[in-house]
Amino acid sequence: MIRSAVFLSAALLATMPCALAAQEKTVPTERIVIDELSKEQPAGDSAAPVPSPDAVTPDATPEAGVEGDADATSEDPKQAAPLPEVRYGTAELPEPVQRMREALIEAAKSGNVEELRTVFEMNELMPTLSFGDITDPIEHLKKASGDGEGREVMAILLEVLEAGWVHVDAGKPSEMYVWPYFAQYPLADLTPPQLVELFRIVTSYDYQEMQTYGTYIFYRVGIGPDGTLHYFVAGD
């Protein structure tokens, strides 16, 4: 019995190094896994979770954000704004506006610049004829006219009132019916037929000067919806 016990003890002692060796072999395996995982994470943030590829959406990419900003800043409100609607004739004009227009045309056709004084006095206030101070409106028109009698200016008034017109600021205190429509229309967008209309009122030299300013700067007429003549003036 004693020999059997001794033999059993010896056998157990012989198998212990094998067991310990087996345990030592598993430790490096666990360390290799930990080291490989740590290599996938950024330095200094080993605790941060690694996102799944399925969790990344296209909207979250930097490229999508950059494209969105570029589209937002590329829009130009001026380019997006529609062109004014050009109208001709008198069918769409309110009756008070039609009456004032006809009164101006009849006075201009008379050849007597004094006839315009009566039309101007139909307003509660004297219409704007200049951006500077004037004492007598008729004398101002005579001086502004190349012939010294006001007839050149009356001819311009006729051409202006026979051109197309636009209705601006509808429903607002600044609502106005404006002749010619070039005063409210971008010069760069004029078509060849519209340029022919423009040259009925101005010369090519005038047009070149307007291109320098980027806008129509010749005579224009503004009549309010109640028939008040607000201005017959040249300039910007």
- Does residue 13 fall inside a structural domain? yes
Which of 21-25, 167-171, 193-197 is the least confident region? 21-25
Tell me, yes or no, if the pTM score tops 0.85.
no
SS3 sequence of the chain:
CHHHHHHHHHHHHHHHHHHHHHHHHHHHHHHHHHHHHHHHCCCCCCCCCCCCHHHCCHHHCHHHHHHHHHHHHHCCHHHHCCCCCCECCCCCCCHHHHHHHHHHHHHHHCCCCCHHHHHHCCCCCCCECCCCCCCCHHHHHHHHCCCCCCHHHHHHHHHHHCCCEEEECCCCCCCEEEECHHHHCCHHHCCHHHHHHHCCCCCHHHHHHHHHHCCCCCCEEEECCCCCEEEEECCC
- Does residue 12 fall inside a structural domain? yes
- Does residue 88 fall inside a structural domain? no
pLDDT of residue 216: 96
Q: Average pLDDT for residues 113-133, to the nearest whole number?
A: 91
- Number of structural domains the chain divides into: 2
Same-domain check for residues 103 and 76: no
pLDDT tens digit sequence for 5-14: 434 444 444 4
Domain containing 34 equals 2-80
**Report for 10-19, 73-82, 93-102: range of highest mean pLDDT:** 93-102
pLDDT of residue 33: 45
Same-domain check for residues 29 and 75: yes
pLDDT tens digit sequence for 25-66: 444 444 444 444 444 444 444 444 544 444 444 444 444 444
Same-domain check for residues 30 and 142: no
Same-domain check for residues 149 and 225: yes
Count CB-CB contacts under 10 A for residue 219. Answer: 21
- Does residue 90 fall inside a structural domain? no
